[in-house]
Amino acid sequence: MTPVSILAAKLEDLAERIGGCDGVDPQLKAELEQARALAAGLDPYLSRCTTPESPALRAIAERTRAVDWERRASGSSAPLHQGMLSGHVEGQALKFLVALVGATRVLEIGMFTGYSALAMAEALPAGGELVACELDPDVAAFAERCFAESPSGDRIEVEVGPALATLGRLAADARSFDLVFIDADKGGYLDYLRAVLDTGLLAPGGVICVDNTLLQGQPWAAAELSANGKAIAAFNAALAADPRVEQVLLPLRDGLTLVRWA
């Protein structure tokens, strides 16, 4: 669910309701239909205009779709669902950024079934490495099975456990990364940002990408914010007030913020 997909669904509902009403100006109906088509067609158009995903990425997406996540029981973490997977356009954007930055060391916080991790790994040069943090051991094992069958999967090292503890260990080992992708629990975003900025994990010239920073439009359009909405609104405000960095929030999917040292 993204601001655009929510908007498209709302416009579709309105167009249907108004379409069935007698006496409504046909011009108004036609304009509403135009607005619906504009919103509903954006994501498919972005996908058509973006380089296709690799067969290995398509396989992860298909294998993820084949799981009944709602029925899958996991005592160890919050529920997982298909919509967590970033997908084609965002995956290609991350892959593009890894290449653009010339990253050789990438850190992902929140891996799920491994789609974005593999997308970024595909852009790494020979010898490049990606560390992916994931809380849920079952989904981490799922991703590792997919990586084992992917040409670039051997560049990925999976760290299972709470990401904050993993970040502490990586920092203690003096590891640093050219690109960091934050996409785990929204309530943890500020802690992850601080850990990455405060402990040397972000290399000089490095970039942080943060997912879901539009949070379905909640920060500016919700009458009442969910816990995740509040967490993202607080994260965005803290980031905007941090003089150490500069950032831009791109309206890609559910929002992707790019951050670099000022």
Name the residues that contact ligand SAM, by CB under 6 A: 77, 80, 84-86, 110-112, 115-116, 133-136, 139, 162-163, 183-185, 188
Q: Which is nearer to ligand SAM, 12 or 77 (CB)?
A: 77
Two tokens, residue 216: 């379905």
Q: Which is nearer to ligand SAM, 40 or 60 (CB)?
A: 60
Q: How far is the CB of 163 from ligand SAM (least distance, A)?
A: 3
Q: How far is the CB of 97 from ligand SAM (least distance, A)?
A: 14
Q: Cα 249 vs. chain centroid, distance in angstroms?
A: 13
Q: How far is the CB of 64 from ligand SAM (least distance, A)?
A: 8
Count of beta carbons in the 10 Å neighbourhood of residue 220: 10
Contact in structure between 247 and 259 (CB atoms under 8 Å): yes
Q: How far is the CB of 136 from ligand SAM (least distance, A)?
A: 4
Determine the 3-state secondary structure of 4 from DSSP.
helix
* Backbone angle region of 32, left / alpha / beta, with phi > 0 → left and psi within -120 to 50 → alpha: alpha
The dihedrals phi and psi of 183, each to the nearest 5 degrees, come to -155, 40
What is the bridge-based pairing of β-strands 105-109 and 177-182? parallel
Q: Which is nearer to ligand SAM, 172 or 262 (CB)?
A: 172
Q: Which is nearer to ligand SAM, 40 or 106 (CB)?
A: 106
What is the bridge-based pairing of β-strands 245-250 and 256-261? antiparallel
Q: Which is nearer to ligand SAM, 113 or 236 (CB)?
A: 113
Contact in structure between 60 and 113 (CB atoms under 8 Å): yes
Q: How far is the CB of 146 from ligand SAM (least distance, A)?
A: 11
Q: Which is nearer to ligand SAM, 115 or 235 (CB)?
A: 115
Q: How far is the CB of 77 from ligand SAM (least distance, A)?
A: 5
Contact in structure between 113 and 139 (CB atoms under 8 Å): yes
Two tokens, residue 21: 């009403």
